C-alpha cells in the first residue's frame, strides 16, 4: 500500500497487484472527510497503465493537461483521471463501479502539484512489475 496523501481531512492510498490479473490491477483508497471511495481498477491490459503513466509525466512536465487510467475494453466504467488547470490545481476524479452494484464517485480538487511526483513514482514502480 502506497500512502500518497495523509492529511487530517484527506487520505489517498494506492495498491498494486500483478498477480490478481495478468493485466495488472491497482487499488484506490480515498477518504475525504466522512466520504470513502475504495475499490480496484483493472485497466484490461498494460497499455492503459503505460498510456496513463506517459500522460501523467507529460502533465507534470507541461504543468497542464489530463491523464486517464481507464478500462479500455469498454471505454467506460472504472476510471482514474488526473487533470491540472492553469492555476496549478490538481484535480483527481475517481469512478469505480465494481461488483455487487457498488459504485463510487469522488472528485478531489484540493491537491497541489507537489503530489504529482508521488503518483508518478507509484505507477513507475507498478510498470516495473509488469510483463516485459
Q: What is the pLDDT of residues 31-83, one digit of tens each?
A: 999 999 888 887 767 788 888 999 999 999 998 899 988 755 555 578 889 99
Q: How many CB atoms are closer than 10 A to CB 132?
A: 3
Q: How many helical (H) and strand (E) elements, i.e. helices and strands, does the chain have?
A: 2, 8
Is the pTM of the predicted complex or chain greater than 0.75? yes
Can you tell me the distance from the alpha carbon of 21 to that of 27, in angstroms, rounded to the nearest whole number?
A: 12
Q: How far apart are CA 2 and CA 73, in angstroms?
A: 27
Does residue 89 belong to any structural domain of this protein? yes
**Residue 52 resides in a domain:** yes
Q: Quick check: is 69 in a domain?
A: yes
Among the residue ranges 19-28, 36-45, 71-80, 116-125, the one predicted with the least confidence is 71-80
Tally of domains within the chain: 1
Cell numbers found for residue 54: 506517459
Which residue range is the domain that position 35 belongs to? 24-124
Mean pLDDT calculated for residue range 19-34: 83
Amino acid at each position: 500500500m502506497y500512502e500518497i496523501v495523509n492529511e487530517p481531512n484527506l487520505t489517498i492510498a494506492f495498491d498494486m497487484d500483478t498477480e490478481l490479473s495478468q493485466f495488472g490491477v491497482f487499488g484506490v483508497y480515498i477518504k475525504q472527510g466522512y466520504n470513502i471511495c475504495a475499490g480496484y481498477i483493472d485497466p484490461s491490459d498494460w497499455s492503459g497503465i503505460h498510456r496513463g503513466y506517459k500522460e501523467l509525466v507529460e502533465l507534470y512536465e507541461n504543468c497542464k493537461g489530463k491523464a486517464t487510467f481507464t478500462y479500455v475494453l469498454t471505454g467506460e466504467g472504472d476510471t482514474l483521471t488526473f487533470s491540472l488547470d492553469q492555476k496549478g490545481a490538481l484535480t483527481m476524479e475517481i469512478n469505480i463501479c465494481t461488483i455487487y452494484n457498488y459504485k463510487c464517485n469522488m472528485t478531489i480538487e484540493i491537491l497541489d502539484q507537489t503530489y504529482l511526483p508521488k503518483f508518478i513514482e507509484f505507477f513507475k514502480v507498478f510498470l516495473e512489475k509488469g510483463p516485459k
